[in-house]
Each structure stands twice: as structure tokens, then as C-alpha cells.
């Protein structure tokens, strides 16, 4: 079956409703429905790297669980690598890699190396290919020092490198990552990002990831989808996103000491956290250079962040 042109994921009016029982009074029970995913449609092509964003409870994890066959959709249609995830779950499992940052895929009481060996049997991978992949992942993710440590004794960053390796040893065409950088320090985060970029570039692996760290998206993804209350409220290029929603920008100023709000022409101080101040300005009337010129004598400036832009979109969508 030629599948090179086949989309990696096609979701069409995808829905998931949970029935939640609430206690109301002593005996009565209310049954309420939570529409976790409420008519989501999108398509991901092979080789894409897509960020799937949204505030807590937006429906990101629920979408991913449907894509991977863990949950059966309540409505709509879905094809992952051309397969219906509910009906062909085990077949699909052979071809995708999944990481849930909050969960482990590894054998808790055994050395990390044992988990990889077991996965070789579970996925029935070719022995030579397995060794090849493992060798390169151990090197890229710098894991050799803790391969013989029981998983329960690994640090979060070490474990996450293990999780990534575990999800990729069988050469999946698509990897789905739910918060792969959660709780990681800067060093581990960079290692994970570099690794994913490399994976996408060298092997053409399709990547769909959720994160609350917008830096991840800026560094990794060409495209971002934003979901809120179970609906897609934005789907497009990351660069395009910045210019569409970026009529206002925020300059973050770190002063040496706490100070009263800065008074710079064309800006408004939106927040003061001790020595840190956020100055918002309209890009169409004021340039960043002008703002910077106004404050440059007294303060250092950190990088432009898209975090605030995303908050604007949440506000608009919610």
C-alpha cells in the first residue's frame, strides 16, 4: 500500500462527550455531559510538525486519546495513518509512537535498558534495527550514564528521555506527544527539542505535540492549532499567527530594582512584578525600536514572547 501521500491524521467533526455524575443532595444524582471535544476538524500531512495548544481542560489530551485509539469518539470521523483508531488499535500502535508526559510507558522497577529490550519484543522490531536506533538515541539524548538505573530512580528529565526513546524505537511514522516538556529544566528541554527537530528533519517523522510552553512551539513547529472548549479557534502557521494576532506586542523589562510603572510614549504598563514590568504597545502606531529607545537607558530587555498573543486569542475565543 503506497501511503506516502496519505494524510497522517484526518479528523472530521470529531466529538467526545463524557457523562459525569454529580451528587446533588443526599440521594439524587445528576448526570451531566461534558463536551470535551466538540466538532474538531483538521488534517495533518506527513512530515508536518504541529503544535496543539489550548488552556487547561480545552480538550487536547482527549483529542490525542481518540487519535491513538484509547478513547472511542462519540461522533465524527477519524483516520490516523489511514486507519480507524478504534477498530484497528493494535495495528495502529505498531506504526505510531505516543508519549504522555504525565504517565510512564516504562517498567518502573527495572533498569531503563530492560524496558527498551522488552519493547523490542513487544513491537517485534528487527534486532539489528533496534540496536541501531537505540545506539543513536542513547547518544543523541545522552542516556548512557543511567541506562542501568531502575526507572523509579530516574530524575524527571532522565525519565522523559527514556520515554521518548521508548516511543520511537519501532520507527513510527507519526509521534504524538502530550506535554513532553512538562516539568523539565532548561537543559533537558533543549535536549528534547533538539532531538525532535532532528527526528522530523532526518526521518521525516510527523509530529503532533501539546504543550503549555509556547517556546516549544516557536522552536519546533511550523504550524499551530489552538483549541478551547473543545473547538478549534485557530489553525495556521506560527509566523502567520504572530502577525495576525500581533497588533499589540509586549515588551518585558527587567529593572534592577522595583520601580513605579515606566512612563514611555505610546505604551501602557500592563503588569508589574517586582522589578519586572510589561509594556504593551500597538505595532501599527509605535515601533518596537521607538519603545526600546524610550526605555533603553534604564533597563535591559528580554526577547519578544508570543505568550501574550496567545492569551489574546484565548480571550477572543472564550
Partner 1 sequence: MGDVRSMLTTYRHLVGAKIRSDWQYRTSFVRYLLSQTVVTALDLAVILVLSEVVPSLGGWNLSQVAVLYGLTTLSFGLGDLFVSQVETVATHIQLGTFDRFLLRPLPTIVQLPASEFALRRVGRSIPAIITLVVALSMAEIDWTVDRLALVPMTVVAGTIIFGAVWVVTASISFWAVGAREVANSFTYGGGFAHQHPLHVYSRWVRTLLGWILPMAFIAYVPAVHLLEAPNPLGIPSWLALTPPLVAIAAVVVARTVWRAGIRNHQSTGT
Which residues form the interface with ligand ATP (CB under 6 A)? Answer: 18, 20, 34, 36, 54, 56-62
Helix pair angle (307-317, 238-245), 10° resolution: 70
Residue 121's binding partner, choosing from Mg ion, ligand ATP, partner 1, none, with beta-carbon cut-off 5 to 8 A by kind? partner 1
Distances in Å between the Cα of 22 and the Cα atoms of 29, 34, 36, 37 are 6, 12, 17, 20
What minimum distance in Å lies between the beta carbon of 232 and ligand ATP? 12
61/104 with CB nearer Mg ion? 61
Distance, in Å, from the CA atom of 49 to the CA atom of 208, rounded to the nearest integer, reads 6
229/248 with CB nearer ligand ATP? 229
Residue 58's binding partner, choosing from ligand ATP, partner 1, Mg ion, none, with beta-carbon cut-off 5 to 8 A by kind? ligand ATP
For Mg ion, the binding residues in 61-100 under the rule CB under 5 A are 61
171/215 with CB nearer ligand ATP? 215
For partner 1, the binding residues in 65-124 under the rule CB under 8 A are 65, 68-72, 86, 89-91, 93-94, 98, 100, 102-105, 107-110, 114, 117-118, 121-124
Distance, in Å, from the CA atom of 254 to the CA atom of 300, rounded to the nearest integer, reads 6
What minimum distance in Å lies between the beta carbon of 238 and ligand ATP? 19
Contact region with Mg ion (CB under 5 A), list: 58-66, 130-138, 212-220, 228-236: 58-66
What minimum distance in Å lies between the beta carbon of 152 and Mg ion? 23
Distance, in Å, from the CA atom of 316 to the CA atom of 314, rounded to the nearest integer, reads 5
212/280 with CB nearer ligand ATP? 212
63 is an interface residue for partner 1 by CB under 8 A: no
Tally DSSP H helices, then E strands, for the chain.
10, 13
Q: With beta carbons less than 8 A apart as the criterion, state whether 71 and 61 touch.
A: no
- Counted residue by residue, the chain has a size of 318
What minimum distance in Å lies between the beta carbon of 107 and partner 1? 6
Q: For residues 188-197, b (16+ Cβ closer than 10 Å) or e, as one string? A: bbebbbebbe
32/258 with CB nearer ligand ATP? 32
Give the list of residues 6+ apart from residue 153 with CB closer than 8 angstroms, or none.
none
- Residue written as grid cell 506527513: 46
Distance, in Å, from the CA atom of 72 to the CA atom of 65, rounded to the nearest integer, reads 8
Residue 284's binding partner, choosing from partner 1, ligand ATP, Mg ion, none, with beta-carbon cut-off 5 to 8 A by kind? none
Contact region with Mg ion (CB under 5 A), list: 57-65, 88-96, 184-192, 264-272: 57-65
Distance, in Å, from the CA atom of 217 to the CA atom of 258, rounded to the nearest integer, reads 31
Residue 54's binding partner, choosing from ligand ATP, partner 1, Mg ion, none, with beta-carbon cut-off 5 to 8 A by kind? ligand ATP
List, in sequence order, every beta strand (DSSP E) within the chain: 9-23, 29-44, 49-53, 75-80, 96-100, 174-178, 206-210, 223-228, 231-237, 248-254, 267-273, 276-282, 300-301
Amino acid at each position: 500500500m503506497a501511503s506516502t501521500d496519505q494524510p497522517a491524521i484526518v479528523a472530521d467533526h470529531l466529538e467526545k462527550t463524557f457523562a459525569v455524575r454529580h451528587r446533588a443532595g443526599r440521594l439524587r444524582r445528576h448526570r451531566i455531559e461534558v463536551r470535551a471535544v466538540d466538532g474538531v476538524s483538521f488534517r495533518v500531512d506527513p512530515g508536518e510538525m504541529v503544535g496543539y495548544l489550548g488552556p487547561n481542560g480545552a480538550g487536547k489530551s482527549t483529542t490525542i486519546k481518540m487519535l491513538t485509539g484509547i478513547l472511542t469518539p462519540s461522533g465524527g470521523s477519524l483516520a490516523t495513518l489511514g486507519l480507524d483508531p478504534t477498530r484497528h488499535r493494535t495495528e495502529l500502535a505498531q506504526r505510531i509512537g505516543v508519549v504522555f508526559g504525565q504517565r510512564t510507558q516504562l517498567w518502573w522497577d527495572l533498569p531503563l535498558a530492560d524496558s527498551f529490550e522488552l519493547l523490542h519484543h513487544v513491537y517485534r522490531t528487527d534486532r539489528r534495527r533496534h540496536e541501531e536506533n537505540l545506539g543513536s538515541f542513547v547518544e543523541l539524548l545522552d542516556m548512557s550514564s543511567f541506562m542501568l538505573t531502575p526507572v523509579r530512580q530516574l530524575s524527571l528529565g532522565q525519565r522523559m528521555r527514556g520515554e521518548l526513546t521508548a516511543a520511537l524505537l519501532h520507527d513510527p511514522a507519526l509521534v504524538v506527544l502530550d506535554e513532553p516538556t512538562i516539568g523539565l529544566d532548561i537543559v533537558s528541554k533543549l535536549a528534547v527539542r533538539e532531538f525532535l527537530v532532528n527526528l522530523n528533519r532526518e526521518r521525516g517523522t510527523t509530529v503532533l505535540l501539546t504543550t503549555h510552553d509556547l517556546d516549544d512551539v516557536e522552536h519546533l513547529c511550523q504550524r499551530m492549532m489552538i483549541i478551547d472548549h473543545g473547538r478549534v479557534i485557530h489553525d495556521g502557521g506560527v509566523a502567520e499567527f504572530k502577525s495576525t494576532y500581533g497588533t499589540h506586542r509586549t515588551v518585558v523589562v527587567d529593572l534592577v530594582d522595583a520601580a513605579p510603572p515606566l512612563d514611555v510614549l505610546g505604551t501602557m504598563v500592563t503588569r508589574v512584578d517586582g522589578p519586572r514590568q510589561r509594556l504593551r504597545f500597538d505595532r501599527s502606531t509605535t515601533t518596537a525600536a521607538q519603545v526600546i529607545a524610550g526605555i533603553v537607558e534604564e533597563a535591559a530587555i528580554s526577547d519578544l514572547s508570543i505568550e501574550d498573543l496567545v492569551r489574546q486569542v484565548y480571550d477572543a475565543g472564550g
